[in-house]
Amino acid sequence: MSDLTILGLVVLAYLLITLIIGWLAWRRTTATAEDYFLGGRAAKTFVLFMALFGTNTTPFVLLGIPGLSYHHGVGIFGLNAAVVGLGIPLTFWLIGDPARRAALRIGAITPVELYTRRFASPLVGHLLFAAFFAYTLPYMVTGVIGVGLTAQILTHGALSFTVAAVLVLAITIAYTTLGGMRATMWTNVFQGATFMVFILVAFALIAGDLGGLSAATATVAAEAPHLLVKGDSPQFTPGHWGSWGLAISLTVIAFPHMFVRMFAARDTAALKNVARLYPFVLVLLWLPAVLFGVWGAAEFPGLEGRASDGIFPRMIAAHLGPVLQGMALAGVLAAVMSTLDAQLLTLSSMLTRDILRRARPDMTGAHEVAAGRIFTLALSLAVLAIALQRPASIFDIAAFAFSGYVTLVPTLLLGLRWRRCTAAGAIASILAGNAALLLAQFGVLPPVGGVLPVAWGLLAAIAGAVLGSLASRPTDRATLDRVLGPTP
């Protein structure tokens, strides 16, 4: 049996298991929107953790971070992973848990629905939807690029970038449109386990093949010693370091596909357990990702720009046999599908419930689900069209999306934690934050102290929320009590 056949069989087995899990979930899903979109709000610690972590882990980590470490070295770990270990759990507490309680109180199914009712303003909901859509689309593109690239390298071109991209989208659509949130959470458990186990096994085997951890590091010290210290790389100047830390810590809760999973949590205890686990599992995933990139720089020097996105599959192809290469492709597929499914489901639920239902209030639950499925298909085609263009490196596309999501954080946070925050404040925050981000991206706002555009976006969003709220009439007390609970 050829290496390619073995690799294909391993991937096929993975895909088959995923579809079977999706089918089992479909059999248990009822036609109600709450069950389809939130899995009945019953996720306990283990499923919730795997669903959140699976959704949170994308080719940004598996391919983008090795690609970035290839150029900038071990400092990439501190720049990204460390601060996220604190930032993500903190946002689960400050935003995720009150959002879950408010959504349960009013029966909200999507973030847009929650904030529309919190601010008693459809315009806030429409702006949030537009922003979620604008930033999730490029983030989905990074996933599809990741699969295409990995498949192309590991199959030596037998499976082209385009075919791999079409396949991953088709299969994700199949189980997501059938089984809804329950399917995505159940498959996320399997998918999360697949890529976690693979990363750890690959780390041990590749280190062994390089002669052990000490020998691998010694090779880097001889070939590319600058990668073992931060040095004077612009990535690590205080302004860049601080503003990127802010961005990557705050962005995750503002992913609509992560935010909605907060609603699916059974209770606060489940969310607390997830917060406790997060930092530990991040280390297990990010440490190998950074070291793959650094080791790869010594072994495959000379990759320029976005070409370094392929360093992880190159290392796999060079050091592991066909079975593990198949597992690598399955692992990347798992990471991509576990995020893509959540993104598709969340965006489609917001479109059907928050946009279409507003236009047609007589729409039935079954029609809502059907409309969600059609939208999922259209969205997938748009993602595919952009991914085939490969507009930039995975890290750069993700960085653009992350910066945009951060401009929404003041609205998401203050809407739940500050009763004086008003619709005018939320609207001012979203508009000012995104305008400032764009101006900074185009160099109109200067990078004072080396800060990234996201710092300007966040600052403007905070100012917009505070000033806009104080300058407008408070939201009526009955609305606040209904959504946020009785006034303390």
Sites of contact with another protein (CB under 8 A) = 74-75, 77-78, 81-83, 85-86, 89-90, 93, 97-98, 101, 212-214, 216-217, 228-232, 236, 238, 241-242, 245, 268, 272, 275-276, 278-280, 282-283, 287, 290
Token pair belonging to 296: 């790869």
Q: Closer to another protein by CB, 156 or 417: give it.
A: 417
Where residue 237 falls (left for φ over 0; alpha for ψ -120 to 50; beta otherwise) is: beta
Q: Closer to another protein by CB, 235 or 441: give it.
A: 235
In the complex, minimum distance from the CB of residue 229 to another protein, in angstroms, rounded to a whole number: 6
Q: Closer to another protein by CB, 232 or 362: give it.
A: 232
DSSP secondary structure, 258-289, as one string:
HHHHHHTBS-HHHHHHHHHHHHHHHHHHHHHH
**DSSP helix/strand/coil, 43:** strand
DSSP secondary structure, 191-233, as one string:
HHHHHHHHHHHHHHHHHHHTTSHHHHHHHHHHH-GGGGS-TT-
In the complex, minimum distance from the CB of residue 273 to another protein, in angstroms, rounded to a whole number: 8
Q: Closer to another protein by CB, 89 or 331: give it.
A: 89
Q: Are 308 and 67 in contact (CB under 8 A)?
A: yes
Pick from 186, 160, 111: nearest CA to 350? 111
Q: Closer to another protein by CB, 350 or 416: give it.
A: 416
In the complex, minimum distance from the CB of residue 372 to another protein, in angstroms, rounded to a whole number: 32
What is the phi/psi pair of residue 293, to 5°? -65, -45
Token pair belonging to 288: 């190998």
Residue 476 DSSP class: P
In the complex, minimum distance from the CB of residue 69 to another protein, in angstroms, rounded to a whole number: 11
Q: Closer to another protein by CB, 227 or 432: give it.
A: 227
Sign for the CA dihedral angle at 235, 237, 242, 243 comes to negative
In the complex, minimum distance from the CB of residue 279 to another protein, in angstroms, rounded to a whole number: 4
In the complex, minimum distance from the CB of residue 213 to another protein, in angstroms, rounded to a whole number: 4
Token pair belonging to 234: 């612009």
- Find where tokens 């998401």 sit: 412
**DSSP helix/strand/coil, 450:** helix
Q: Closer to another protein by CB, 89 or 313: give it.
A: 89
Q: Closer to another protein by CB, 282 or 342: give it.
A: 282
In the complex, minimum distance from the CB of residue 223 to another protein, in angstroms, rounded to a whole number: 14
In the complex, minimum distance from the CB of residue 278 to another protein, in angstroms, rounded to a whole number: 7
Q: Are 173 and 344 in contact (CB under 8 A)?
A: yes
In the complex, minimum distance from the CB of residue 80 to another protein, in angstroms, rounded to a whole number: 10
The greatest distance separating any two alpha carbons of the chain, rounded to the nearest whole angstrom, comes to 73
Q: Closer to another protein by CB, 157 or 225: give it.
A: 225
Which residues, including other chains, have CB under 8 Å from residue 88's CB and lie 6 or more apart? 56, 249, 252, 253, 275, 278
